[in-house]
Structure 1
Amino acid sequence: MTCEEILEAVFPLLEYTELANCMLVCKQWRDAAQDDHLWKSFCSKIWPSICKQQSPPTSTYYLFFRTYYKKQYETLPPPKLTFNDLEFYIDILVDGKILFSDVVPGPDFQKIPPPEIGDVLRSHIEHPKYKLILPVEPRFTIHLCDTVSFSVFVERKDTKKVACLLNKSIFHNVYRTSYRALGFDEYLDFFSPLNLFVNLGVRAWISLLFMDYSNEAANDIFAIEMDFSYAAKSEDEVLWLLDMLDWK
């Protein structure tokens, strides 16, 4: 039997969690495991009505299962990564000139607000939703008329592979009432198409946090913040999400 024939014989015998793990082996296994007949079978056990039509309500049954089954999980196993395994490459440019450029070890991200910030910023930083916050020393200033772009890559020290979180993106909005300049990139690429908690369309978000005494023209930046919104709300979920990126 060929490898394709073996996969076609074995994959229908697996549970969806086992099939999802098979997707991590290689591209051939991933493509075979995305056979929509397999995912129609899983859908029919949970939502039999959606399988009564000739075509699925979404583009594929795999997409439907991936989108709507994630809430069934209650807890995650411990992540395989730690922040000690990661280094972040962060570049921020203003009108094409380097404003901030550094290689940041994972443990350097913290959630300790500087003592001189106001209540609005402090409440944001201390919110339970997990954030990666990098204090900036020395601080720098951006002006409202500046075009600020940013890139963030992350490297796994164990495999020496790199994944992209944000690439040459532009800060879209400045929220003066919450003292943040906010930007995001296209949706992230995951090697693992199905996982325990992440839905479709996950973005990395980056913010420049500025002091509340900044004026209308210039903002005094004291920290860089990254998060994944509600796709990853804890340290373990963030590490799981990072582990499933398309590392190259």
Structure 2
Amino acid sequence: MTYEEILKVIFPYLEGVDLASCMAVCKQWRDIARNDYFWKCLCAKRWPSICKRPNPPTLTYYKLYQTFCRRQHSRTLLPPRLSFNDLEFFIDIWNEDRLLLSDVVPGPVLETGIKILPQGICNMLRFHLEGPEYKMTLPVEPRFTVPMNQTVSVSVLVWRKDSNRVARIIDKSMFDYIDRTAHRAMAFDYLEFSPSHPFISGIRAWISLLFMEDGNEGVLDVFGIEMDFCDAATSKEEVLWLLDMLDWK
């Protein structure tokens, strides 16, 4: 059996990534590995029904496999139509019937976030806030304390100046999950989107109280707020696109 015949016996047993790697070894391997029979075998494993046709639905099975099995790279978004300069956020936090915080926050303030972290925060929270992922944060001034055994809720509306319309982000959601290790108390609500985007659903807005130990057992010393849409948006541009699609009224 010749060297080329050995390769033709082995190649049909390879996975697509491995067969593609063989094409980069040398010209001889590339020419053999491009044989459409090998790629038809791979397509037959993934989509058996597509090989029942006498001819591939594309030019070659290699092209078919390459198109639908290659790793998707992150795509560059078009510039969002909305900017943080166009937005104001209305944030209200309640401790049962007592109003803890009621603030109108300009978009650029939430975009800039907490510039200097206070002394005494735990390492896990510091690592989270200083990480590369985009996040919207707001310092709480003056700070407030929350007993862990009491109900705390939050509402967030957003107003856009360019159209003078308002959308709801969070509607009286409870901070019912407290992560003592990461020093965050979290609440969420599902976003409501415009009827012009009927197939978008199930995306949550998360808001967190960032706290330090108060020294009193069961009391949270809140120094900041964080809001994110990590189900769907992990960059500033993605957040703005997401907000633009809300049900503005």
Same fold (TM over 0.5): yes
Over residues 183-226 of structure 1, what are the superposed CA-to-partner deviations in whole Å (9 max), with x where a residue is unaligned?
0013432444279xxx6411100000001455431110000110
State the match for 2:183 in structure 1: 179
State the Cα distance separating 1:112 from its structure 2 match: 2.6
Letter in 2 for 1:175: D
TM-score, length of structure 1 as denominator length: 0.66
What is the CA–CA distance in structure 1 between the aligned matches of 2:236 and 2:203, rounded to whole Å? 16
Contact 1:191 / 1:245 at 8 angstroms: preserved in 2?
Answer: no
What is the CA–CA distance in structure 2 between the aligned matches of 1:208 and 1:162, rounded to whole Å? 24
Q: 5 Å matches for 1:60-209?
A: 74-109=75-110, 110-116=113-119, 117-193=121-197, 200-209=201-210
What is the CA–CA distance in structure 1 between the aligned matches of 2:137 and 2:159, rounded to whole Å? 18
What is the CA–CA distance in structure 1 between the aligned matches of 2:116 and 2:190, rounded to whole Å? 29
State the Cα distance separating 1:247 from its structure 2 match: 0.4
Relative to structure 1, the CA distance from residue 94 to residue 213 in structure 2 (aligned partners, 3 Å threshold; closer, same or farther) is closer
Relative to structure 1, the CA distance from residue 169 to residue 212 in structure 2 (aligned partners, 3 Å threshold; closer, same or farther) is same
SS at match of 1:88: strand
Letter in 2 for 1:211: M
Q: Which has the higher Rg, Structure 1 or Structure 2? A: 2
State the Cα distance separating 1:118 from its structure 2 match: 3.1
CA RMSD of aligned residues (A): 2.4
State the match for 1:240 in structure 2: 241
Over residues 1-30 of structure 1, what are the superposed CA-to-partner deviations in whole Å (9 max), with x where a residue is unaligned?
xxxxxxxxxxxxxxxxxxxxxxxxxxxxxx
Contact 2:184 / 2:211 at 8 angstroms: preserved in 1?
Answer: yes
SS at match of 2:204: coil
Contact 1:192 / 1:245 at 8 angstroms: preserved in 2?
Answer: no
SS at match of 1:146: coil
Letter in 1 for 2:81: K
What is the CA–CA distance in structure 2 between the aligned matches of 1:188 and 1:240, rounded to whole Å? 14
Structure 1 unaligned residues grouped into runs of 5+? 1-46, 51-70
Structure 2 unaligned residues grouped into runs of 5+? 1-46, 51-71
Letter in 2 for 1:228: F
What is the CA–CA distance in structure 1 between the aligned matches of 2:196 and 2:116, rounded to whole Å? 35
Letter in 2 for 1:142: V
Over residues 33-80 of structure 1, what are the superposed CA-to-partner deviations in whole Å (9 max), with x where a residue is unaligned?
xxxxxxxxxxxxxx9x79xxxxxxxxxxxxxxxxxxxx7871100111
Letter in 1 for 2:115: I
Identity of aligned residues (%): 54
Contact 1:191 / 1:247 at 8 angstroms: preserved in 2?
Answer: no
